Amino acid sequence: MSELGTAPIWALTAAQTARAIREGQLSAVEVAQAALSRLDTVNPTLNAVVDHRPEDVLAQARTVDAKRAAGAPLGPLAGVPVTIKINTDQIGYATSNGLRGRAHVIATENSPVVDGFLNAGAVLLGRTNTPAFSARYFTDNQLFGATQNPRNPALTPGGSSGGAAAAVAAGIGAIAHGNDIGGSIRYPAYACGVQGLRPGVGRVANYNATTPNWSIGAQMMAVQGPLARTVDDVRLGFAAMSGRDIRDPWWFGETQDVTETPKRAAFCAHPEGIETAPEVEAALRDAAGRLRTAGWSVTEVDMMPPLKEATRLMHVLWLSDNQDALLQAALDEGDPGAIFIVKGAIDWIGDVDVAALGAALTQRAGLMRDWFAFLDDWPVFLLPPSTQLPFPVDEDLNKGFMHMVESQYFMTGLPLIGMPVMMVSTGVVAENTPVGVQILAGRGREELCLDAAQAIEIQSDPTWSSGA
């Protein structure tokens, strides 16, 4: 055990865990027991994992140990505890999406990401919480209640993958699955002080048999991705998730080789006159400085393609598939956060008819062309996560929908263009408030995002906990 140091088993990284199991330093059952014990210790306060079955977890672990004993090949995530978000199909579990009306919709086949983790040898530890409809930067619903931020309970854990980020930050699993249509991986990673990758559209197969045909907005903008405490583990999670699956016609295969890409980056502190909190700008400049120290050329630029209009178009596409039905579903569920988000978006955007949808799609093409050209000049682009530090709990309900829009251009504008974005936590400021930076790269350049992230990263203390 000396090679593993003094950290408890639950605090090991995914890479450390898989290596220890392959080399016989730990059994998968030992790892699973440690993960379950950690869950039992901290989750009653956090409410990050809302469905788990210990006997199922231990059975998965015994299968990994049996394969090792038989000399069979082990996957790259052999025995690594991984959590799955409750809006994603996993055989035998409800794909509730935080909705009372879907609490008994039980999946009969796995989504591609679940199959990917299982094929890599991971042990699925539990199911993580999300806001109702996965449609808010705050994780709370009428079915399971609120998730607490393990870094600071006065702050949101983010949303919609708030349960995923809170779990991995607190040591409940080494990798968490999340998804992102408007910031739902990146914002929880920011708020909980972990790392999260929003892959580009088509890089990770999307499919739920319980809801097989997504709206056009979801098809063009929603992605699956990993969260973890280290960039290395995000890389492992992405590799496991990104295999071929014919159930998603948007999937397009491997990333481009980035070994010959110049280490050239840029950042813009105030695009379109957007002001940020001093701590947010300081974190952005700090990340740029870390890249320079690592040998990158980093330039501050005055202009970039627009994010404000991209944010508006993102909401148009999100609402394009029968906004009246979406509002009625929120009203039927009776969830205050969901009603607030859907009604606020409809009031802002107005009626999305065929002409409005066509105009949005046409304008999107031009914006994508502008971003392709921009990222050809600057292969890596650094952006703030938000105009503000992570929100206090329920700030949206207290300050209104347009306050959220104007705070989150950096989150909601980027999904429209469909390119990969990495959220890197770089530390904390006063009152244990996380800060960090987003890293944007061109289509198929997830590895470039990850390489830049590793040059910036400060790894979280693996023994950190919420005091439990």
- Spacing of C-alpha 26 from chain mean position: 29
The structure tokens listed for 460 are 């979280």
The residue type of 317 is L
CB 144 within 8 A of CB 50: yes
**Total length of the chain:** 468
Parallel, antiparallel or unpaired: strands 81-85 and 175-180: parallel
Angle of helix 28-46 versus helix 54-69 axis, rounded to 10: 160
The one catalytic residue in 160, 161, 460, 466 is: 160
184 is catalytic: yes
Return the SS3 of 75: coil
Residue with tokens 């650094």: 382
294: left (phi over 0), alpha (psi -120 to 50) or beta: alpha
The one catalytic residue in 27, 96, 134, 184 is: 184
Q: For residue 383, what is the enclosing H or E element?
A: strand 380-383
2 is catalytic: no
The one catalytic residue in 85, 242, 425, 460 is: 85
Q: Dihedral, CA atoms, 185, 187, 192, 194, nearest 10 degrees?
A: 50
C-alpha dist (Å) from residue 366 to 50, 215, 284, 309: 42, 22, 28, 12
Among 396, 322, 307, smallest CA distance to 352 is for: 322
263 is catalytic: no
DSSP notation for 151-193:
S-TTB---SSTHHHHHHHHTTS-SEEEEEESSSTTHHHHHHHT
C-alpha dist (Å) from residue 262 to 24, 103, 440: 41, 49, 15
Residues 6+ apart with CB under 8 A from 60: 28, 32, 123, 124
CB 258 within 8 A of CB 447: yes
Catalytic center residues: 85, 160, 184
